[in-house]
Amino acid sequence: MAKTSKLCLGKWRLWITSLLFCVTAADVRYSVPEETKTKFVIGNLSKDLNLDYNGLRFRKARLDYQGDRRYCEIDLDSGDLFVSERIDREMLCGTASPCIMHFEFILENPLELHNIALEVQDVNDNPPVFPKGSIKLEISEGAPTGSKLQLTRARDLDVGINSVQTYILSQNKHFVLDTKSSKDRYVDIVLKNSLDRETRGEHSLILSAVDGGNPPNSGTVVIEVVVIDMNDNAPLFSQPLYNARLSENSALGTSVIKITATDEDEGANGEIKYYINHLSDNTKQLFKIDENYGEISVIGQLDHEKASSYEVEVQAEDGGGQTGHCKVVIEIDDVNDNAPVISVKSLKNKIPENTTPGTEIAVINVKDQDSGENSRISCSISPNLPFQLQPYIKSYFILTTSSSLDREQIDNYNVTIIATDGGIPPLFSNISLNIQVSDVNDNSPRFELHSYFIYISENKQAGTSVCSVSANDPDWRQNGTVLYSLVPSEVNGVPMSSFLSINGDTGVIHTVRSFDYEQFRNFSVKVVARDNGSPPLSSNVTVKVFITDENDNSPQILYPVPDGKSLMTEMVPKATLSGSLVSKVIAVDADSGQNAWLSYQILKSTDPGLFTIGLHSGEIKTQRDISESDNMKQNLVISVKDNGQPSLSTTCVVNLLISDNLSEVPELKDMSYEDNNSKLTSYLIIALVSVCAFFLTFIIMMLAVKFCHRRKPRLLFDGAVAVPSAYLPPNYADVDGAGTLRSSYNYDAYLTTGSRTSDFKFVSSYNENTLPAGGILDKSEIDFNMLRLSDVGECTEQKPPNTDWRFPPNQRPGPSGAGARPEEAGAGAGVMAGTGPWPNPPTEAEQLQAMMAAANASEATATLGPRYNLQYGPDYRQNVYIPGSTATLTANPQQQVLQQALPPPQALPPTEVPKAAQTPASKKKPTKKDKK
C-alpha cells in the first residue's frame, strides 16, 4: 500500500459574541498517491480537527467541491476521509507541480468551516514517448566531424524524478549522443567520424529515453540516418525564443505570431517547411501553423482560467533533411468574462429577537473564475437593515446581526446580497435571503465596547476614577435599569476589591490603592452589567488594566560595589595602549522602557584626557597611551543616568592604580581626589572642617570661662613687693609679683606638606620645667585670670630633682641650674654661675634680690632645681621654681661654672627664634611696668 502523510498546518477559531453557535476555521493538508484504490482511507478528519465523530451525522457534515467530480468522501460514522473514485494526477494538473485539490468540510449546529487541501503525489505510471515511432534524418556525406542532427525529445506525462532523465544511443562508430543541459533536454546526434555514401548510404540507430522512476520506464525510437550528397546548411531561425500575447476571447483564426527561418542552400535544399512538435491533445485543438509561411493561428476557444500560457515547439526542415528548432511562448491575457458566483453554505432562517449584535446568521461563498483585478470581489447587502456582511476567510463571508432586533417592529427581513468583481466593466450577481425574527420576551444589557483598556500611572493616588463602562438595555423601565459590579477574582493572591471598585449606578471605576509598576504591570477584571428584570439578565465585559511606569527608581550600581568601608581599586599596567579596556561600570534600573535606558558619563577624573567611558556600555577605556608623567593614582567619578523624565542619576567612584606590580602600589588610604581635581569634595571638606573648628573653639571658650570662675591665682607671699623694671632678654620669661607661678602652655598647629588631609597636632605643654630657650613667655594681668589651660592638652610631668641639688645641712644651697637640654632649650640657652652659698634661710628681701639678679642674668636654663633645702623652710618651697637664678649647678656637683654678670641694659639685635603658630601664650602684651 502506498504511503500517505498528513500535515496539520494550523487551526484558528473566530469567537463571536453569540450564545447559540460559533464558527471555526482550520486548514488540514493530506497527501495521497495517484491511482490509489477506492475506499482507501486518507485520514481521519474528526481526529485531526478535534471533533466528536459521534455528532458528524447530526451536524450534517459534508464535503463541498468546486467541480462536479467527487474524488473523496467522508464516513459520517467514523470521520474517515477516503478515496471515492480514481484520481489521475496527469488529468487533474497536467505538468503542474505540486498538484493540490481544495475542498471545504462543513458542519452545522454550530457552524464550522474547514478548508481541506489534498496533494496528489505523482506515480511513475507513464513511460517516455517520442512523437513518432521512427525518425528519418539526412546528412551530407561531406558534413564535417562534430556536425549535429537535432532530435525531438521524448515526452513523459509524469513530473519530477519520474519524468525523462537520460537518453541512450545504440552502439555505432559514426555517431554519438549530446544532451543539452536544459529543462527541455534537447537531444543532438553528433557526427563522430566522417561518412562515405558509397561505402554505406544509410545508418540505423536506436535512441532510448529513460525516466527516473523506480523501476524506471523507457521509450525508444528508431532513427534512420540517410547519407546524401552535400546539404551543408540547416534552416536557421532569427531567434531561439519567440513571445506572443493574446486575450482569451480571441476569435478563431486570429494570428498569434509569424516566425521565419532561413537556409543559405539553393534549390530543394533551401526550401523550408514548418511543423509544430510535441503538442498535447488540448494544445493541438487550439493552435496550428502554416507549414509554408510559419504563421501560428488560433483554431480553438481559449480560456485563461484553464491555462494562462502555452509553449509551442516549432521545427523548420529544408528539402535536404536539415532541421532547425525554436520555441514560441504564448501568454493568454485574462478578460473579465466570468461573473461572481454566490452560494449559501449555511443559513439560519429563524433567529430570536434577543440575538446579540455580531451573531452569525449565514455563511456565504463567492467565487470568480477570472484572475487579477477581475477576480477581486466586494460584497454588500441591502441598506437600512440590522445585518452586516463581514469577510471571513478567503472567498467566504459571514452575515451577522449588526444591531438588536425587535419582533414587535419587524418580524421578517429580505436580505439581498450583491457580489461585484473588479473588472472593467464590472460584473455582478446577487441572491436574496429570507430571515424571520422569532419573539423572545427579554433583552440583556449590551456594552458599548467588546473590551476596555485602562492605563493607570503607578503611584497614582487612591480613589482616582480611571474608566467608565457603559451598557445599554433596550427593555422598558426597570428591565432597562442596569447595575454594575466587579466579578470577584484575585491578582497575585490579593482580592480584586483591594485594587479597584466600581460605582454600581454610573459604571465609573475607581482605584482603591496606589499601584507599583515594579510589582505587577497588568491584570484583567470582568465587569458585570445586570438589569432589574425578573428574572434578571446580565452580561459582562473584560477590562484590561495596564500600569504605566514612572521614573521612580534611580540607577543602582552593581559594580564597583558601593561599599563605604573599603576601597575597590583596579590596577592598570603602565604599558596599556590607547583604546584598551581597563574596567567596566555595571548598573541596573528597576524601571522599564526608556526609564531604564542608562547612560554613563565621567564627571571628574584625575587626568581628564586619559580615560573615556562608553555612553551606553559603561566600559572604561584608555583614550591615549599611558605615559610616565601620568599620576599613578587615578580617580574617576562616574555618573549613571537613566532616560526618564525627569531623569534620575547616581554616581560611583572608580579607583585605578597605574602600576605593573603590587610593590609599587601606595597605601590605599591615600586614594582620594586631588583638591584641584574635585571641587565638590574640597567644598565638602572645607565646610566640615569649618563646622568642626567652630565647634571646638566654642567648647574651648566655654571651658576657659568656666575655669576662670572656679579658679583664682594662688600667691606665694602675702604681700606684693614692687620690683623695678629690669632688662629682660627675649629668650626669658618675665616674672612679676610673688606667689606660686602658673604653668604656661604653647600649642603648635601644623599641616604636613606631604599629606592630603589636614591634621592638628597638640604638643606637650611648656611649663617652667621645660621652657625652651627660644620661647617667650608673656604675662599680663589677663593671663593670670584667663589662661588656665592646665586641664587642656597633655602636660609634661616634672622629673624628680637630681641628687646633686641636695647639700649638707651645714651648707646653704645656692640657686641650682643644670645645663640646658638640647631637646628643651633653644639656641639661646646659656650657662649661669651661682652667687655663692647662703648661710641662713633666706628672707623675703633676699628672695627679691635673687629675682632681680636672675632678671639681669644673660642666660637661663630651661630646667630648674629646688631652690631650698627641705630642712630650712616650709615644704611648699621645694615646689617653687624661679625662671632666673644667679647661680648654676651642673649635673656634676664638683664642677661649677662661675657666675657671669649681665651687661647693663642696652639695645640688642633681635634673636632669631623658630617660627611657630602664634598662640595666646606667645604674644607679648604691654603691661603697666612696660609703659613706665
Query: Which helix H or strand E contains 850, and what residues bound it?
Result: helix 844-856
The answer on pLDDT for 671 being more than 60 is: no
Q: What integer is the mean pLDDT of 33-44?
A: 91
| pLDDT, position 720 | 38
How many other CB atoms are there within 10 angstroms of residue 447's CB atom? 20
| pLDDT, position 711 | 60
| pLDDT, position 847 | 52
Contact 638, 651 (CB under 8 A): yes
Sign of CA dihedral 181, 184, 185, 187: negative
The answer on pLDDT for 108 being more than 60 is: yes
The answer on pLDDT for 885 being more than 80 is: no
Q: How confident is the model at residue 430 (pLDDT cuts 50, 70, 90)?
A: very high
Alpha-carbon distance 209 to 153, whole Å?
8
Burial call 679-691: b when 16+ CB within 10 Å, e when fewer: eebeeebeeeeee
| pLDDT, position 423 | 85
Q: How confident is the model at residue 640 (pLDDT cuts 50, 70, 90)?
A: very high
Q: What integer is the mean pLDDT of 664-685?
A: 59
- The pLDDT tens digits of the residues spanning 745-781 come to 343 444 444 444 444 444 433 444 333 434 333 433 3
Q: How confident is the model at residue 614 (pLDDT cuts 50, 70, 90)?
A: very high
The answer on pLDDT for 667 being more than 80 is: no
Q: How confident is the model at residue 243 (pLDDT cuts 50, 70, 90)?
A: very high
Give the predicted TM-score (pTM) of the model.
Answer: 0.37
The mean predicted confidence, pLDDT, of the chain is 74
Domains contained in the chain, CATH given: 5-121 (2.60.40.60), 134-228 (2.60.40.60), 236-333 (2.60.40.60), 341-438 (2.60.40.60), 446-548 (2.60.40.60), 556-666 (2.60.40.60), 711-932 (no CATH)
Q: How confident is the model at residue 401 (pLDDT cuts 50, 70, 90)?
A: very high
Phi then psi for 68, rounded to 5 degrees? -90, -30
Q: What integer is the mean pLDDT of 832-859?
A: 47
Report percent pLDDT > 90 for the chain. 25
Q: What integer is the mean pLDDT of 130-136?
A: 86
Q: What integer is the mean pLDDT of 179-186?
A: 60
The answer on pLDDT for 923 being more than 80 is: no
The residue among 282 and 156 whose pLDDT is bigger is 156
The residue among 751 and 147 whose pLDDT is bigger is 147
Select from 777, 770, 796 the least CA-distant residue to 731: 777
Q: How confident is the model at residue 475 (pLDDT cuts 50, 70, 90)?
A: confident
The answer on pLDDT for 931 being more than 80 is: no
Alpha-carbon distance 62 to 67, whole Å?
15
Return the C-alpha cell found at 1: 500500500
Q: What integer is the mean pLDDT of 533-561?
A: 88
Q: How confident is the model at residue 630 (pLDDT cuts 50, 70, 90)?
A: confident
Alpha-carbon distance 64 to 456, whole Å?
51
What DSSP character marks residue 37?
P
Q: What's the Cα-to-Cα distance from 113 to each of 13, 24, 81, 190, 741, rounded to whole Å?
A: 10, 6, 16, 61, 120
The answer on pLDDT for 819 being more than 50 is: no
What DSSP character marks residue 765?
B
Select from 305, 339, 336, 338 the least CA-distant residue to 431: 339
Phi then psi for 207, rounded to 5 degrees? -110, 130
Select from 809, 864, 885, 817 the least CA-distant residue to 840: 809
* Residue 16 CB partners (closer than 8 Å, separation 6+): 22, 23, 358, 359, 360, 400
Return the C-alpha cell found at 869: 633645702
First to last CA, the chain: 144
| pLDDT, position 857 | 45
The residue among 145 and 909 whose pLDDT is bigger is 145
| pLDDT, position 604 | 92
The residue among 22 and 208 whose pLDDT is bigger is 208
The residue among 284 and 89 whose pLDDT is bigger is 89
Q: How confident is the model at residue 419 (pLDDT cuts 50, 70, 90)?
A: very high
- The pLDDT tens digits of the residues spanning 367-386 come to 888 888 888 888 999 888 99
The answer on pLDDT for 462 being more than 70 is: yes
* Residue 42 CB partners (closer than 8 Å, separation 6+): 4, 6, 30, 32, 72, 80, 81, 82, 83, 118
Pairing of strands 451-457, 538-548: parallel
- Taking only Cα atoms into account, the Rg of the chain, rounded to an integer number of angstroms, comes to 60
Phi-psi region of 394 (alpha: psi -120 to 50; beta: other; left: phi over 0): left
Per this entry, what is the length of the chain? 932
Sign of CA dihedral 801, 804, 809, 810: negative
Q: Is 139 exposed, middle or buried (0-12, 13-18, 19+ CB in 10 A)?
A: buried
Q: How confident is the model at residue 181 (pLDDT cuts 50, 70, 90)?
A: low
Task: Give the max Cα distance, the chain.
Answer: 180
The residue among 324 and 9 whose pLDDT is bigger is 324
Pairing of strands 134-140, 112-121: unpaired
The answer on pLDDT for 705 being more than 70 is: yes
Q: How confident is the model at residue 843 (pLDDT cuts 50, 70, 90)?
A: low
Return the C-alpha cell found at 666: 601606595
| pLDDT, position 414 | 92
| pLDDT, position 5 | 34
| pLDDT, position 824 | 38
The answer on pLDDT for 343 being more than 50 is: yes
Torsion over CA of 236, 239, 241 and 246, rounded to 10 degrees? -110
What is the amino acid identity at position 196? Answer: D
Residue 270, classed as helix, strand or coil, is helix
| pLDDT, position 852 | 54
| pLDDT, position 97 | 82
| pLDDT, position 371 | 83
Pairing of strands 72-74, 80-83: antiparallel
The answer on pLDDT for 600 being more than 50 is: yes
